[in-house]
Amino acid sequence: MLAMLSVRNAKLCRMPRSQEPFRLEVADRLHSAAIHLLRHARKRDVLARVGPARLSALSVLVFGGPMALGKLAAAEQVKAPTMSRIVAGLKRSGLAKIETDAKDARRIRVTATAKGERLLQQARARRVRLVAETLSGLRGPELDTLLKAAELMERAVRQAAGTR
């Protein structure tokens, strides 16, 4: 629903690289497609009783190891108060535990529990399956394209986040 605005008419003169018409066109379509893909997956993901932000934070903890709240917030591109609440929720559900840092009493050390790891694997697998079902009409070469695209998106975000 967000993909119908033509961006081909953008002015050509004196624009930063990011505003070249074709780049805008791609950004437009990709933005819309990403929204729809995730919305469609979310729609049938009522099973996980955890919520996307907590699941994502838990993922960082599981694969990145224990870390301080601030670092977790940065990794998730979220402000500290938001992450504070997310971590509180994870703790309340027994999915993560909190210890105080021995070196710096201001910091906390957030760690995924065994239960948290288990839940993450299950919830993640379910979510991935939902996306895979959405992609079930596509064939090999098309999947290749999507895989390349996913890599490009990750790389672009990493770079943009690092630059800022």
Partner DNA sequence: CTTATTACTTAGCACTGCTAACGAATTATA
Partner DNA sequence: TATAATTCGTTAGCAGTGCTAAGTAATAAG
End-to-end CA distance of the chain, in Å? 30
Q: Yes or no: say if 48 and 55 are a contact pair by the CB < 8 Å rule.
A: yes
The token pair that represents 23 in the structure block = 């780049």
Site for DNA in 80-99 (CB under 7 A): 80-89, 98
Residue 98 found at the interface with its own copies (CB under 8 A): no
- Output the six-digit token pair for 65: 């190891």
Among 7, 24, 30, 68, binds DNA (CB under 7 A): 68
With CB under 5 to 8 Å by kind, the binding choice for 11 among its own copies, DNA, none is: none
Residue 97 as a binder of its own copies (CB under 8 A): the answer is: no
User: Residue 133 CB: number of other CB atoms within 10 A?
Assistant: 12
Q: Is 60 among the residues that bind DNA (CB under 7 A)?
A: no
- Stretch of 27-35, 81-89, 93-101, 106-114 contacting its own copies, by CB under 8 A: 27-35
Using CB under 8 A as the binding rule, whether residue 129 contacts its own copies is answered as: yes
- The answer to whether residue 30 forms part of the interface with DNA (CB under 7 A) is no
Residues of this chain that interact with DNA (CB under 7 A) are 39, 43, 46, 49-55, 68-71, 76, 78-89, 98, 104-108
